[in-house]
């Protein structure tokens, strides 16, 4: 365990989850740390790396097997060793899921909305499409009507094609409004996206990670392993929150929206620990050719720039 009490609390909290989310943490590790270094590591070094978080070898092997079966990872044998990489599909999933995490800010909103009418779909397909659209940031505005203030039209069109719902769905786009967020609109947003519940989850994130931020700032010298553990748990928890966050424009959110403070805390903590965490990764992980390759250039663009 670490000498930092706030970090130990986070590790204990992760270990006490039932069931322990090892597969999800491994995806976080690949997306945050392994992919920027070329994407491939020896399974044995991965086991050693995650042991301090309380994930034993058996659980890691089981999780890796499951992720391989689900199409996230692919294996390559070199002698008696196995090296695992993200598949092409896994990489695309990662890029989509992690794009939100590291972006410096949301683009400005012009007040336009995309609406999708689902009333002509049969019940089973309607349920499936609703779940997919919620993942893309849509909310239920009225029975069989979903809306999004900043929809990606290419993603929407691809989803409708993949689910064979294009012919039975109706898509509308509204024009820019002079008043971007009326009182009625903000009330509708609270209902359609359960903003209060999400705000509470962001508050809990801040309560969890602010003590860690303060504790690390007070250290005369940062410990490389502590920084790796802090970075991994930080991005793991923040990624899980963003999966539930529709990323609504500021104009539609409460003035005291905790998501803003959570993002700033995540950015500041990441900037504090990333360099030392990289030292630990370079010493702990192996590829078939030996040490990890250097990180790619895009890594240093995270959160608007890492220095």
Which of 77, 86, 75 has its CA nearest to residue 34? Answer: 86
Spatial distance between the Cα atoms of 272 and 185, rounded to a whole number of angstroms: 39
What are 147's strand-pairing partners? 115, 139
pLDDT category at 180 given cuts 50, 70, 90 is: confident
Average pLDDT of the segment spanning 201-223: 96
Q: Are 155 and 136 a contacting pair, CB within 8 Å?
A: yes
Question: What value, to the nearest 5°, has the Cα angle with vertex 237 and ends 234 and 241?
Answer: 130
Number of helices (H), then strands (E), in the chain: 11, 9
Mean pLDDT computed over every residue of the chain: 91
Q: Are 20 and 26 a contacting pair, CB within 8 Å?
A: no
DSSP state of 233: H
Residue 262 clears pLDDT 80, i.e. is over it: yes
In the chain, what percentage of residues exceed pLDDT 90? Answer: 67
Position 1 scores a pLDDT of 61
Average pLDDT of the segment spanning 199-206: 96
Average pLDDT of the segment spanning 92-97: 75
Position 244 scores a pLDDT of 87
DSSP state of 30: I
Residue labelled with tokens 């999708």: 116
- The better pLDDT of the pair 247, 147 is held by 147
Contacts of 90 by beta carbon, 8 Å cutoff, 6+ apart: 30, 67, 71, 72, 73, 74
pLDDT digits (tens, 9 = 90+) for 130-166: 999 998 889 999 999 999 998 888 889 999 999 999 9
Residue 176 clears pLDDT 90, i.e. is over it: no
pLDDT digits (tens, 9 = 90+) for 100-127: 889 877 788 888 899 999 999 999 999 9
Residue-wise over 148-173: b if at least 16 C-beta within 10 A, else e?
A: bbbbeeeebeebbeebebeebbeeee
Contacts of 253 by beta carbon, 8 Å cutoff, 6+ apart: 189, 195, 259
Spatial distance between the Cα atoms of 217 and 272, rounded to a whole number of angstroms: 8
Judged by average pLDDT, the poorest of 17-26, 82-91, 171-180, 255-264 is 171-180
pLDDT category at 291 given cuts 50, 70, 90 is: confident
Average pLDDT of the segment spanning 174-189: 82
Position 37 scores a pLDDT of 93
Distances (CA, A) of 65 to 70, 75, 82, 113, 287: 9, 10, 12, 42, 19
Judged by average pLDDT, the poorest of 75-79, 90-94, 213-217 is 90-94
């Amino acid at each position: 365990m670490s000498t930092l009490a706030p970090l130990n609390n986070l590790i204990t909290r992760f270990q006490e989850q039932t069931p322990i989310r090892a597969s999800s943490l491994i995806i976080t590790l690949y997306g945050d740390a392994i992919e920027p270094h070329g994407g491939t590591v020896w399974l044995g070094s991965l086991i050693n790396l995650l042991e301090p978080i309380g994930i034993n070898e058996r659980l890691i092997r089981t999780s890796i097997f499951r992720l391989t079966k689900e199409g996230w990872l692919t294996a390559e044998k070199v002698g008696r060793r196995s090296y695992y990489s993200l598949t092409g599909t896994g990489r695309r999933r990662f890029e989509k899921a992690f794009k939100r995490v590291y972006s410096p800010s949301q683009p400005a909103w012009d007040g336009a909305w995309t609406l999708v009418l689902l009333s002509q779909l049969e019940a089973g397909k309607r349920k499936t499409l609703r779940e997919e659209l919620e993942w893309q940031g849509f909310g239920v505005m009225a029975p069989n009507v979903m809306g999004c203030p900043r929809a990606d039209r290419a993603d929407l069109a691809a989803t409708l094609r993949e689910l064979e719902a294009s012919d039975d769905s109706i898509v509308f786009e509204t024009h820019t409004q002079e008043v971007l967020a009326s009182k009625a609109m903000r009330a509708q947003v609270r209902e359609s996206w359960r903003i209060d519940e999400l705000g509470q989850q962001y508050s809990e994130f801040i309560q969890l990670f602010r003590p860690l931020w303060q504790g690390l700032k007070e250290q005369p010298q940062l410990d490389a392993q502590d920084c790796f553990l802090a970075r991994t748990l930080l991005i793991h928890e923040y990624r899980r929150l963003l999966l539930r966050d529709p990323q609504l424009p500021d104009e539609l959110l409460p003035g005291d929206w905790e998501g803003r403070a959570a993002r700033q805390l995540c950015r500041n903590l990441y900037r504090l620990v990333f360099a030392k965490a990289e030292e630990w990764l370079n010493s702990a992980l192996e590829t078939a050719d030996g040490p990890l390759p250097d990180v790619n250039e895009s890594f240093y663009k995270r959160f608007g720039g890492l220095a």
